[in-house]
Every structure is written in structure tokens, then in C-alpha cells.
């Protein structure tokens, strides 16, 4: 009893922490943080009016945090760029996934399309993982309430599937970053950034706390899955022990074929003595 109770309790806590981390990471925008040394760049662009104008209007010259849905500007925002306030009170613009396709996406190269499909798949995989976690909630409640080995195993497998799908989403997200900064060479990629931004010390890149939370959520989901499966094993073992103990109190009952007392004839001795011979 103690093994399954403790294991399932810890598994439940791990699952709740995993859902919280994944939900926060999914909805926030600090996945990839880009910091631009605007002071140094401004000095290098002095005397070039066209470059200074671009310096104030192009988002590439501003600090920004990139998430799954938005790009946000924690400090200043570019001129003539329409933004809105995000749930965490920062100025943001939406990331365009080109759903539906438009005239801009029609001009994409095959490599750019591969990158776009990967980015869309990241969102789709995260939504699928949340669906599996949602299903595991019901199987987990039913399993703990009924002490059902099958329901607990199903919960563990659903949690394991959710963790694998989330890990796949994280892998695709890294693939999108690789395409942006290493493989693509169009106007929307790092390859076409102004040369001053690519100089050493002018632009720095960091993985943000949303990204870290996402990986913590994946890890906690995996831990929860393992604990649920271990809890199911403990539960099955405890049921076998309980059944073995109950068997000791079961008394065997055998049918009694002897003649009941009081229903025989009242004559002593063999029946032939009384004229009942053959």
C-alpha cells in the first residue's frame, strides 16, 4: 500500500509541474533572446543618414525576445512598426506562419518552405502533447480512485507519449533555428543581416527562460511517466499480496454424502432378519 501510494503521489506532483512548465513556456516569448549593442552600432553608423534611418526603423537593430507566436521588444521598439501589448506587458508583433498562404509565401524557395513546415509542426506537436496529457488526467483519476492497474499503466504510457512528442517539438524548434542562421540565404535569414550587426560583440544570442522551462517540462513529464508505470507495478504486487492473505481465511467446504442423522429405519441389524430377504 505504501509503495503505490507514495509513487503515485510523487508521479502526480511531477505531472502537475510538467503541465505548468509546458503551458507557461508555450504561452510566453522568451525562447530566444537577441541583444543588440545599439550604442556601439550608432557610433559606427554616424554620418550615414540612410543607415541611421534604417537603424531606427528596422527591428533587426533592436533587442527582442522570440517565442512561438510573438516577437517582443523588451526596451525600445522600431518606428513605424505596429505592435500590441502582450500578456506580460511588452510590445510585440506576431510571427507570421502564412496560414493561409499569400503572395509572399508563394515566392518562397523550397528550403524556406521546409523551414516554415517545421515551424508549423512545432505548434502542432505541442498541441498534440497537451491532448495526450489531457487524456492522462482522466485515466489517472480513474486509476487512483479504483486502484486499477490498467488505468495507471495507460496514464504512464500517455505521459510517456506526451514527453516524446514534446521532445520532438523541441528538436524541430532547434531545426528552425538552424535553418534561420545556418542554411537559409534569402532576405529573411541571418545571411542578409546588415554587416555591422554580424560583427563580433554587436549582437548576442541567448536561450531564454521560456526555452529552459520547456525542457524542464519535458523532463518532468518523462519522470511522471516512469513513476506512473512503477506505481502500477507496485499496485499489482500489493493486490497479489492482499489476495494471498485473504486466502488464509477461506475455509474449504466439501459436500457430505453421508446419510443424514434421524432418517434411517429403526430396526437394528441386517434387514433379512425381519423377513426382507431376497
User: Does domain 2-239 bear CATH number 1.20.140.150?
Assistant: yes
Residue 205: its H or E element: strand 203-207
**pLDDT tens-digit readout, 50-74:** 888 899 999 999 999 999 999 999 9
Q: Which residue has the cell 503521489?
A: 9
Q: Which residue has the cell 521560456?
A: 210
Q: What is the pTM of this model?
A: 0.82
Measuring CA to CA, which residue among 108, 128, 125 is closest to residue 116?
108
Query: CA-to-CA distance for 221 and 140, rounded, in angstroms?
Result: 14
Which letter does DSSP use for residue 264 in this model? S
**pLDDT tens-digit readout, 100-121:** 888 888 889 999 999 999 999 9
∠240-241-245 over CA atoms, to 5°? Answer: 115
Question: What's phi and psi for 94, nearest 5 deg?
Answer: -80, 150
**pLDDT tens-digit readout, 149-191:** 888 999 999 999 999 999 999 999 999 999 999 999 888 889 9
Amino acid at each position: 500500500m505504501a509503495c503505490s501510494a507514495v509513487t503515485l503521489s510523487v508521479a502526480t506532483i511531477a505531472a502537475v509541474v510538467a503541465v505548468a512548465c509546458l503551458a507557461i513556456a508555450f504561452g510566453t516569448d522568451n525562447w530566444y533572446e537577441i541583444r543588440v549593442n545599439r550604442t556601439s552600432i550608432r557610433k559606427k553608423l554616424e554620418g550615414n543618414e540612410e543607415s541611421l534611418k534604417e537603424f531606427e526603423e528596422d527591428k533587426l537593430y533592436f533587442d527582442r525576445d522570440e517565442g512561438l507566436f510573438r516577437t517582443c521588444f523588451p526596451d525600445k521598439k522600431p518606428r513605424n512598426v505596429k505592435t500590441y501589448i502582450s500578456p506580460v506587458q511588452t510590445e510585440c508583433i506576431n510571427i507570421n506562419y502564412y496560414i493561409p498562404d499569400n503572395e509572399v509565401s508563394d515566392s518562397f524557395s523550397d528550403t524556406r518552405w521546409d523551414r516554415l513546415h517545421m515551424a508549423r509542426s512545432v505548434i502542432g506537436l505541442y498541441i498534440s502533447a497537451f491532448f495526450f496529457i489531457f487524456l492522462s488526467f482522466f485515466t489517472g483519476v480513474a486509476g487512483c480512485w479504483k486502484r486499477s492497474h490498467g488505468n495507471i499503466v495507460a496514464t504512464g504510457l500517455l505521459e510517456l507519449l506526451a514527453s516524446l512528442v514534446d521532445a520532438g517539438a523541441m528538436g524541430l524548434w532547434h531545426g528552425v533555428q538552424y535553418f534561420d542562421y545556418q542554411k537559409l540565404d534569402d532576405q529573411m535569414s541571418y545571411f542578409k543581416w546588415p554587416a555591422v550587426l554580424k560583427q563580433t560583440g554587436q549582437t548576442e544570442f541567448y536561450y531564454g527562460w521560456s526555452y529552459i522551462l520547456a525542457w524542464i517540462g519535458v523532463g518532468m513529464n518523462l519522470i511522471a511517466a516512469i513513476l506512473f508505470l512503477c506505481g502500477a507495478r507496485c499496485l499489482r504486487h500489493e493486490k497479489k499480496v492482499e489476495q494471498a492473505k485473504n486466502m488464509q481465511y477461506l475455509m474449504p467446504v466439501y459436500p457430505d454424502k453421508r446419510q443424514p442423522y434421524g432418517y434411517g429405519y429403526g430396526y437394528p441389524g441386517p434387514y433379512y432378519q425381519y423377513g426382507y430377504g431376497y
